[in-house]
Amino acid sequence: MTATLNDVVNKKPAEQSAELQAATELVRLAKEQGLSLTGPDGLLKQLTKTVLETALNEELTEHLGYEKHDSTGVGAGPCTPRSMRPVCPSGVM
């Protein structure tokens, strides 16, 4: 049992993951700036919004095959601008 206790006491602390380091730094900066961690304008709300928007934009890019607002997509879908084609196929819009 002594060997087990010595192993625990002498064990080096595990390195923090990149995610944990980033979260720790965000909380530290928020506190320095007087930003609330929760609430309508808090860090958690802002971070959640940013992560969700980024994830949704990445999914859209992957699905479409090009970045949002990229000229690659102009005229590529079933509904093109009216100057190029007068109407969309029925049921698309």
Ranking 26-30, 65-69, 72-76 by mean pLDDT, the lowest is 72-76
**What confidence score (pLDDT) does residue 39 get?**
93
- Kindly report, residue by residue over 14-45, the tens digit of the pLDDT: 788 999 999 999 999 999 999 999 999 999 99
Residues 46, 29: contact at Cβ < 8 Å?
A: no
DSSP string, 1-31: -HHHHHHHHHPPPPPPPHHHHHHHHHHHHHH
Ranking 17-21, 58-62, 74-78, 80-84 by mean pLDDT, the lowest is 80-84
Q: Which residue has the higher pLDDT, 22 or 3?
A: 22
**What confidence score (pLDDT) does residue 16 get?**
83
